Amino acid sequence: MGEWEIRRGAVGDLEAVLDLWRRSCALPTVTDDVESLRALLLADAGALLVAEVPAEGASARAAVVGSLIAAWNGWRGSFYRLAVDPDHRRRGIGRRLVREGEKRLRERGAGRLDAIVAADEADAAGFWEALGYERQRDRVRFVRNF
């Protein structure tokens, strides 16, 4: 297995994913809850990718140390919520999550992918640019919470 592995997320991972998002200082949204993530998995069982490290000791559970939502709407692919535990960064986990997400979305027919990144996250912007993504300067995103 190695130090960590990437796999499809499951309902049993949702609390750990939410905890990961808190630990990695992701900007919270109104859909950061188990019910919303469960609905995501019902709509697209393979949308959530997780990176986990193996359990240490007989009674320990594997730990979720990375996540990515690779969403497909039938037209384009989008990446949301790339997160890596602060203690596991700089090990290639984020890059591998993105490459797995790209593979999954290309297999489904995506000819274009986009990634949502907080405007003030310079490190995140540099990460995406290093993977070949271009910053789209002529667009502004509008959001409405319910």
Q: What rounded mean pLDDT belongs to the chain?
A: 89
Q: So where are the chain's domains?
A: 5-130
What mean pLDDT do residues 65-89 have? 94
Is residue 88 pLDDT above 80, yes or no?
yes
Q: HSE (CB half, 13 Å, CA atoms) of 1?
A: 11
Which of these, 104, 43, 143, 59, lies nearest to 96 by C-alpha position? Answer: 104
Q: Do residues 52 and 7 touch, judged by C-beta distance below 8 A? A: yes
Fold of 5-130: Aminopeptidase (3.40.630)
What mean pLDDT do residues 49-67 have? 83
Put simply, whether the predicted model's pTM sits higher than 0.75 gets the answer: yes
Residue 137, pLDDT score: 84
Residue 120, pLDDT score: 76
Q: Do residues 72 and 105 touch, judged by C-beta distance below 8 A? A: yes
Helices (H), 1-146: 14-23, 34-43, 93-107, 122-130
CA distance linking residue 49 with residue 124, whole number of Å:
18
Residue 2, pLDDT score: 53
Residue 1, pLDDT score: 44
Provide, rounded to the nearest whole percent, the portion of the chain with pLDDT above 70: 95
Provide, rounded to the nearest whole percent, the portion of the chain with pLDDT above 90: 67
**Could you give the dihedral angle defined by the CA atoms of residues 67, 70, 144 and 74, in that order, rounded to the nearest 10 degrees?**
-170
**For residue 14, which amino acid is it?**
L
Q: Do residues 72 and 103 touch, judged by C-beta distance below 8 A? A: no
CA distance linking residue 49 with residue 66, whole number of Å:
8
Q: Do residues 17 and 67 touch, judged by C-beta distance below 8 A? A: yes
What mean pLDDT do residues 119-133 have? 86
